[in-house]
Structure 1
């Protein structure tokens, strides 16, 4: 993304004039410090205070890092000869590192996984059939995929499930929707570690505790995290299971 576009984005996000952002970035690129700019270059920034200057600096660095990573992602996908005009447009339009990494995930060089092994055993077509959810009896269909490497229906179904799990985990839309579910609906659950009831008595309020994560005050979250770090509590954070499956 060009420097001019980044200036427009920063100005829009922070509610500033583009010239204020452009001049501030130019001064920072010339090694001027935030206190110096705030005190001695008011005429160039429109008298921006140190807080606003710091916001510009942080956002400018974030976008620079994003552009650098974007270039690396584009290069990697092009080297794999998998780039398409639609994919390029999507990559060029993202505004966060999370979005970019979600797009890149299916193209990232992979280590050998259970899904990889299942593909090598010829189970990807079975995974596609199950994924379509049109087969009335997947287990019966799985019998067609038994071979020297796949000796039972259970093994075939398990391998196909590994492939499906990888597909879903790499699906950009599913990841985005699940992330939003976590933000809105995630519940933090705290339980005492078995056998630690007496020793961890100071954390007894959280031996059986759950509440929506977005409503959990910071002091309570820190207390539960401390209890986990000290080995007295076991924490889990998860969205509503039924709603997550709707994705």
Structure 2
């Protein structure tokens, strides 16, 4: 049992530490939620199943966060990349997305366009352009031309520098947080039919051309679209307005109005379209599906509850016995 987790959950749910720690201990003993709610009221302070479930889920989330944090610290330590400042940021991260954003620049990658550009020695040029001073990017790019490294033209040098800047933009923690919020708040769910399977996809005909805010779409509709996509009958995207995203990024990264800033602007656009957009879309799709699944489970649970509470034999009288192991049976 992690004391910090207990304290955090206590504050989040506005419970007493005794209630949360008792519930956590019961989970460690493999007690089920119905058992805890029904037979351990004196230990939990009569917490209901909803709160007990929330405690369980939060304990699991915090446990997974700690495991991931340990793995990241170990990876960075083994590669001699762990600094005191970086460790402090990692330890302060309270949600998985923030933790992953911190780790992203240091995460082992396949050979991206930015890595290839760095191998060609274009990082100093990228840094110079990114500072957006009063320079001539073309003149600076000429200094980087080297046939041995594969930088044969000015455009090769500038493209490589932009690739590096684009990766910096996509890995910036603040930029990712802003774009993530934009996707969550203003993302639009769009589905279209696969033109090659239009006849087979007839059961999804309502979603052949559909648009709806990710904040307002009912869970059953989103899950239906996702099933259609999985079966290759629909294409599904969750995206905000591109211009709005680009404005957010430009406001953060484009600092001047000169030739270098124009190169940065081009890199920002490339970063969003090629890197950030797909990354954030994957995140919002995963989060939206999880939320829709939870809502669907609640609906099914309530329907089942009503079914189980219905009179088993109609209007006939039934006598039941509640086997109370601790307080005695009830008729």
Q: In which range does the TM-score fall when normalised by the shorter chain?
A: 0.7 to 0.9
1:129 to 1:231, Cα distance in 2 relative to 1, 3 A:
same
Partners of 1:170 and 1:159 lie apart in 2 by 17
SS in structure 2 at match of 1:145: coil
> Structure 1: where are the runs of 5+ without partners?
none
Partner of 1:45: 44
Partners of 2:42 and 2:205 lie apart in 1 by 58
CA RMSD of aligned residues (A): 2.4
Partners of 2:158 and 2:5 lie apart in 1 by 48
* 2:213 aligned with 1:212: yes
The 5-angstrom pairing of residues 1-247 of structure 1 reads 3-135=2-134, 137-148=136-147, 149-194=150-195, 200=201, 203=204, 205-245=206-246, 246-247=248-249
> Structure 2: where are the runs of 5+ without partners?
250-331
Partners of 1:42 and 1:118 lie apart in 2 by 63
Question: Cα deviations across residues 179-226 of structure 1 (Å, max 9, x unaligned)?
Answer: 111001112233444455566566555444433322233343344334
SS in structure 1 at match of 2:108: coil
1:225 to 1:129, Cα distance in 2 relative to 1, 3 A:
same
Aligned residue pairs, count: 246
Q: TM-score, normalised by structure 2?
A: 0.66
Partner of 2:271: none
More deviation in 215-224 or 118-127? 215-224
Larger Rg: 2
1:58 to 1:200, Cα distance in 2 relative to 1, 3 A:
closer
Partners of 2:241 and 2:175 lie apart in 1 by 15
More deviation in 75-84 or 147-156? 75-84
Deviation of residue 20 (structure 1)? 0.3
